[in-house]
Structure 1
Amino acid sequence: MRRTPILTVIALAALALTSCSSGSTDPAPELSGVSPSTRPPLQTTTPGPIGPSGPAIAVPQSRWDALVADLTKRGVTGTPQLVSSEAVTFNDGSLGCPSPGQSYTQAQIDGMRVVVSVDSKTYDYRFGQGAEPKLCGA
């Protein structure tokens, strides 16, 4: 006696599942009267260098000292020469130098970009609100 209700439930479940099927096995059914999109496919690009978003500015002594200390810590022994320094509004906490797998604040950050040269090698440093330098491309 108990088999009849169980078999009935199984039969109704199977019927419900098969009735939901559209009958088509084509994953991309054709739509009549609809032409393919004329819009070009989405293309992504790798972000290029960040241009200045503000005027050229003088590097505060505390930031210059931090930059020189960072170069020294990296084993750079020459005297750094200032190539450029400019105010930049960065789009997020990466300061324009994201690292793979790292998450950053999603807020604009006023900071500066300082490019120096030591023995014909260029170093691109970024500063946010503090005096801690971030070497871009390291």
Structure 2
Amino acid sequence: MSAPRTAALAVVVLLLTACGGEPSPGETPEETPSSHELPAPTTPAPSGSDVERTPQVDAAVADLAAHLGIEPAEVTVVSHEDVTWPDGSLGCPRPGTSYTQAQVPGARLVLAAGGREFSYHAGRSGDFARCASPRLGTTPPPAES
């Protein structure tokens, strides 16, 4: 194989690996463990009515409502926090999937409905996806100077 082809192939592999951490739209949703299993943020996270209702938050609320077959008004925003994920899995690794081992800035959103809590994770894009088995190990983003 020629050097340019080898280099191009290496770039494609790197891009696919880096993109592997973002859950795809329409992925089969699953509920998460209760909030006591989620890591506690080191700084207070906005909760409930304090959370800014961005289009991404509204989309996550709509997604959970559709998944549960309820009205969006029945979904409560528990918390929303900026985090730095330890790798490209965004704190939601899938078995057999490789992820970039670089830290990824993002956010975690916790929603509640029907007496259960659901964790939604986002990476750089800001688009949230449900996470069935959230992993510990997130850190708050570095403080701005």
Common topology (TM > 0.5): yes
Alignment deviations for residues 61-107 of structure 1 (CA, whole Å, 9 cap, x no partner): 11112202322442441421011111111101111111101111211
Rounded to whole Å, the distance in 2 between the matches of 1:121 and 1:73 is 15
Corresponding position of 1:95: 90
Query: Percent identity, aligned pairs only?
Result: 38
Alignment deviations for residues 86-136 of structure 1 (CA, whole Å, 9 cap, x no partner): 111110111111110111121111111111101212111111111321211
After the TM superposition, which parts of structure 1 deviate over 4 Å for at least 4 consecutive aligned residues? none
Q: Is the 8 A contact 2:106 2:126 kept in 1?
A: no
The residue type equivalent to 1:69 in the other structure is: A
Q: Is the 8 A contact 2:87 2:101 kept in 1?
A: yes
Is 1:52 paired with 2:46? no
Query: CA offset at residue 60 of structure 1?
Result: 4.6
For 1:77, which of 70, 73, 81 is the aligned residue?
Answer: 70
Corresponding position of 1:130: 125
- The answer for unaligned runs of 5 or more in structure 1 is 1-47
Q: TM-score, normalised by structure 1?
A: 0.56
Map 1:1-138; keep pairs closer than 5 Å: 49-52=38-41, 55-57=44-46, 58-78=51-71, 79-137=74-132
Q: In the comparison of the two structures, how many residue pairs are matched?
A: 91
Cα RMSD for the two superposed structures: 2.2
Secondary structure of the residue aligned to 1:67 is helix
- The answer for unaligned runs of 5 or more in structure 2 is 1-36, 134-145
- Which structure would you say has the larger RCO, counting Cα contacts within 8 Å and 6 or more residues apart? 2
When Rg is computed on C-alpha atoms for both structures, the one with the higher figure is 1
Q: Is the 8 A contact 2:112 2:118 kept in 1?
A: yes
Secondary structure of the residue aligned to 1:96 is coil
Q: TM-score, normalised by structure 2?
A: 0.53
The residue type equivalent to 2:119 in the other structure is: D
Change (3 A) 1:50 1:90: farther
The residue type equivalent to 2:45 in the other structure is: A
The residue type equivalent to 2:129 in the other structure is: K
The residue type equivalent to 1:65 in the other structure is: D
